[in-house]
Amino acid sequence: MSATPILAAYKDRLYKDNHGHLYFTLVKCPCCKLQSRLLWPARLMEYPKTPFKFECGGCRQITPSADLSVYDICHIGCGCEDKPRAFVVMV
């Protein structure tokens, strides 16, 4: 069973660099090793400074960002629209 709210609005880019350019956030699930792009709740206006939880786009495991290694999360400008989606379920 998925924890993702069905009717909630999401946005795909939240991380901003020093010039204000928006980036996708990619995460690698520690369970199934699938790399997915995060979809953020629309109410968020800036990248969180505290840990968040996301639901993997493959195995549906809910994982805290604190469990990711530095190699399991990255920010990218484009070219990842075809990646599976992982929903941020708690900030």
pLDDT in tens, 31-66: 999 999 999 999 999 999 999 999 999 999 999 999
CB 4 within 8 A of CB 89: yes
% residues pLDDT > 70 (the chain): 91
The percentage of residues in the chain with a pLDDT greater than 90, rounded to a whole number, is: 86
CA distances from 83 to 20, 26, 43, 49 (A): 24, 9, 23, 24
pLDDT recorded at residue 47: 93
pLDDT of residue 4: 52
Residues 6+ apart with CB under 8 A from 42: 8, 9, 10, 11
CA pair distance 21, 31, nearest whole angstrom: 31
Confidence band, pLDDT 50/70/90 cuts, at residue 7 = very low
Q: Is the pLDDT at 1 greater than 70, yes or no? A: no
Residue 67, φ and ψ in degrees, nearest 5:
-85, -5
